[in-house]
Amino acid sequence: MRAARHDEWGSPLTLAEVTRPEPAAGEVRVAMRATSVNPIDVHTGRNSGYEQSMQLPFVPGWDVAGVVDAVGYGVPRHQVGDPVFGLAWFPYPAGTYAEYVTVPAHHLIPMPSSVGFVEAGCAPMAVLTAWQMLDAARVRPGSRVLIDGAGGGVGHVAVQLAAARGAKVVALARTAHHERLHEFGAAMCVDYDDAGAVAAIGEVDHLIDYVGHEFGRALFEHVAPGGSVALATAWSIPTYREDAAARGIDASSCLVEPDPVALTSIATLMNMGILRIAVDAEFPLERAPEAQQWAARRGVFGKTAIVVDPAERS
């Protein structure tokens, strides 16, 4: 099979012929149809802080959307031919930039019937990250929640999920993205480059931070005492616990994990049209390096897909 991989840390992705994996007990093999680019793909390609769990050659990727191709021993929940999607193995290597991948059967659920493989392949890591961070922040109906990076792959999902929970969403994003974010349920949109507008946001109950660093830390000032912050990149704010405690707010560092129960609820929202995954661009597997470069550009709204089709070579 083909896979896009790093042969050295920090080296460009190259397309290589590798051995097709066989599913172990409790696993299924998926013929991939689509995956997506997530920021962590680039970090792991450089081996930035992942030295203990990643080995060369390294195939990035964790989002799975495809068709079950083989079933390992003891798996009753999936059959050959089933369309499935899910977040595979995270935070351990999954290697979804490939034509086939083996996945623990319980990491996958039936693909939403209302979407195609591309949208499904762009969903798992983004939707589970957003869902779990909203849970960590205890976002509730009627609360006011500030979401930075709202036009990004996770941010645009968090806006929709927070609105679906009955929260009043303040979305921080580029002005060009405000119209779509309003359509996705944001009550208020603010350009993060407009310091005056950011200062005028006022008090919120919760902060969902996807940006981190000094920008994210400065947003703590908007959270009311007794409120909460959930951070996707808490490592970039070394004093986040102390800074939150000084304001009388809770702070949670969030690392996404596979959760088929939550993903089932999310799939229902997708089928109901309540949650939409915005796909900014699609690239074939052989152009995976370009897909990563595209996803890193300023101004991309939503997700960048890598489309895989093993049938082309069968």
Closest of 124, 119, 115, 117 to residue 86, by C-alpha: 124
pTM for this predicted structure: 0.95
**Amino acid letter, residue 239:** T
What residues contact residue 89 under an 8 Å CB cut-off, 6+ apart?
Answer: 62, 103, 104, 107, 258
4-22 residue pLDDT tens? 999 988 888 999 999 999 9
Q: What is the mean pLDDT of residues 125-132?
A: 98
Strand partners, 100: 31
**Could you tell me which residue, 93 or 47, shows the higher pLDDT?**
93
Q: Assign 313 a pLDDT band (cuts: 50, 70, 90).
A: very low
Alpha carbon distance 128, 251 (integer Å): 19
E-only strand ranges, 54-196: 63-71, 83-87, 100-104, 108-110, 144-147, 168-172, 188-190
Q: What is the mean pLDDT of residues 195-205?
A: 96
Alpha carbon distance 58, 3 (integer Å): 10
Alpha carbon distance 22, 8 (integer Å): 25
Poorest-pLDDT segment among 32-46, 91-105, 181-195, 299-313: 299-313
**Could you tell me which residue, 52 or 306, shows the higher pLDDT?**
306
| CB distance 120 to 133 below 8 Å | no
- Other CB atoms within 10 Å distance of the CB of residue 51: 9
- Give the single-character DSSP code of 222: G
Q: Distances in Å between the alpha carbon of 45 and those of 37, 89, 131, 240, 247?
A: 12, 17, 26, 27, 37
Radius of gyration of the chain (CA): 19
- Provide the phi-psi class of 73: left if phi over 0, else alpha when psi is between -120 and 50, else beta: beta
Which domains, and CATH codes, for the chain?
A: 2-123+277-313 (3.90.180.10), 126-253 (3.40.50.720)
Report CA torsion sign: 256, 257, 261, 263: positive
Helix (H, G, I), strand (E, B) or coil at 9: coil
pLDDT for residue 296: 86
Q: What secondary structure does DSSP assign to 136-187, as a single string?
A: HHT--TT-EEEESSTTSTTHHHHHHHHHHTT-EEEEE--GGGHHHHHHTT-S
pLDDT for residue 49: 58
Structure-token pair, residue 168: 């009043």
| CB distance 65 to 116 below 8 Å | no
pLDDT for residue 311: 54
Q: What is the overall mean pLDDT for the chain? A: 94
pLDDT for residue 11: 85
Structure-token pair, residue 93: 């290597």
DSSP element (H, E) containing 303 = strand 303-307
221-253 residue pLDDT tens? 999 999 999 999 999 999 999 999 999 999 999
**Amino acid letter, residue 48:** S
| CB distance 35 to 308 below 8 Å | yes
pLDDT for residue 48: 57
Poorest-pLDDT segment among 38-47, 204-213, 302-311: 38-47
| CB distance 72 to 25 below 8 Å | yes
